[in-house]
Chains A and B, each alone.
Chain A
Amino acid sequence: MKRIVTPSQTVGPYYRIGFGPVPALTRPDIPGERVTITGRLLDGHGDPVPDGMLETWQANARGKYDHPEDWQDKQTTPGFSGFGRWIPGKDGTFVIETLRPGAVPYPGTDPNGRGRKEQAPHLVVTVFSRGLLKHLITRVYFEDDPALAKDPVLRLVKDEARRQTLIAKRNGAQPGAYHWDVRLQGPGETVFFDV
């Protein structure tokens, strides 16, 4: 018998009682190229959303998820779960410090196991806030990645301008520094996925 799935409700304005930040990098010796994604969570007027929250989920540097259903014959990274929880400041700014994930497979393969598509390195980002009755799911990719052109998920976004909302841009000369805003509504609204 198929049951009704428990529906969502907003996280509300006081979630900080229950949620604190969870860094993605809990130890300095975790292998992988460091990246920092700085951005702001913004509403339909372009104003900061200071009471929102972001969660990130990603593979390790080898493209392996720390999860029993990741069937790939790759190693997980001890001490790196792939999860992070980020609390923006009062001006809506968040700073995601993590490692650059590796590419992960995209489902579907031909019978000979060749031609299997890959997804370009990305973080899955989940957004919560007062005023959001359910969380939102988006992704962030990295501007300088040559694999972007072939990413099957980016190709699902037909509008080039909308596709750009999923790509973090290099932030000055510092290696590994990126900028990426999340706009909940209005001009430049970030692409959100129906998962």
Chain B
Amino acid sequence: MATLPGYRRQRAAQEARYDHPDYRSTALRAPKQPFIRLPHTLSEITGPRHAGKPVEPHEADLTKGFGPGEALGQRIVVSGRVMDADGRPVPNALIEIWQCNAAGRYRHENDTHDAPLDPNFGGAGRCVTDDQGRYRYVTIEPGAYPWRNHPNAWRPKHIHLSLFGTGLATRLVTQMYFPGDPLIPHDPVLSAIPDKKARERLICEFDWETTVPETMLGYRFDIVLRGRDATPFEQPQAAD
């Protein structure tokens, strides 16, 4: 077989815009030239699915293992499914996770926000989806933190996530937000996504089913990656 179905293009309004002046750092970093539309070749349909060493189970618990004790803050378990836009589960998918601590401080040399570091919290973790595409990790709820984007700017509480998916075209780096966070409507990073329903995809849901009595609150967050075209294209895109 010499041709493979590509991945379906996303609707522009359902994806983050590059040029978004409300997010100040885009001013010198968002490309200005039009992008060249690339038909999906083997280079885009194949892709990395993992990075670095194989994931070990303890990496899915960010509350333990960094320091001698347990991390401070509200313990939460985040779980869900990784699937494509047609609902097909994505098994064995790597999820790389990082976040600030409960006080809103990142363990990074450039974070000078005067909130305390937690000696028992590093902020990084990884997990892998099972054969049904399900994942689960335990962490503490991150705090909101101030940033210098505009006066009195605060990022809503969020957890950074990175996935490869099944091919290069499914690569996703995003942020998960928390329901009811009053900062969400004011956030210039989230507002870069024009479509309201698409923005809502980034907000997890409180979930009694996975809340563990006397232990941790459960949040559910499904991740949807691009689906495939129904048929392979037969000819390369004609050059204009």
Contact = CB atoms under 8 A, between A and B. Distances in A.
Interface of A: 1-20, 22, 43-45, 47, 49, 51, 55, 57, 59, 65-67, 69-72, 81-83, 85, 104-109, 113, 116-117, 119, 122, 124, 126, 128-137, 139, 152-153, 155-158, 162, 184-186, 189-195
B160 to A, nearest CB: 6
B172 to A, nearest CB: 6
Nearest to B18: A133
Given A7-B174, A134-B16, A70 B46 contact: yes
A133 B30 CA distance: 8
Given A71-B1, A131-B27, A156-B38, 20 more contacts: A3-B86, A5-B14, A7-B10, A10-B16, A17-B98, A22-B52, A44-B29, A45-B28, A57-B46, A57-B47, A67-B46, A70-B42, A107-B2, A108-B2, A132-B26, A133-B30, A133-B192, A137-B38, A184-B31, A195-B168
Interface of B: 1-4, 7, 9-10, 14-18, 20, 23, 25-33, 35-52, 83, 85-87, 96-100, 106-108, 110-111, 122-124, 160, 162, 167-169, 171-175, 189-190, 192-193, 195, 197-199, 201-202, 223-227, 232-237, 239-240
By Cβ-Cβ distance, the 6 closest A-B pairs, closest first, are A18-B98, A131-B25, A67-B46, A131-B29, A83-B48, A133-B16
A60 to B, nearest CB: 12
A45 B3 CA distance: 41
A157 B36 CA distance: 7
Of A2, A6, A82, A119, most buried by chain B (CB within 10 Å of CB) is A6
A11 B45 CA distance: 23
21 contacts: A1-B87, A3-B85, A4-B224, A5-B201, A9-B190, A9-B192, A19-B162, A51-B110, A72-B42, A81-B48, A104-B41, A107-B39, A108-B234, A116-B2, A124-B168, A131-B23, A133-B26, A153-B41, A185-B29, A195-B7, A195-B169
B31 A107 contact: no
B2 A13 contact: no
Does more than half of chain A's interface fall in helix, strand or loop, or is it mixed?
A: loop
B30 A7 contact: no
B29 A162 contact: no
Name, among A4, A69, A107, A186, the residue most crowded by chain B CB atoms within 10 Å (CB to CB).
A107
Of B1, B25, B122, B201, most buried by chain A (CB within 10 Å of CB) is B25
B33 to A, nearest CB: 5
A135 B189 CA distance: 14
Nearest to A106: B41
Nearest to B30: A185
Contacts of B99: 17
A18 B160 contact: yes
Contact of B86 (A2, A57, A65, A106): A2
A46 B105 CA distance: 31
A130 B51 contact: no
Given A18-B98, A131-B26, A9 B106 contact: no
Nearest to A134: B16
A105 B2 contact: yes
Please indicate which of the listed interface residues B26, B42, B172 has the most CB atoms of chain A within 10 Å of its own CB: B42
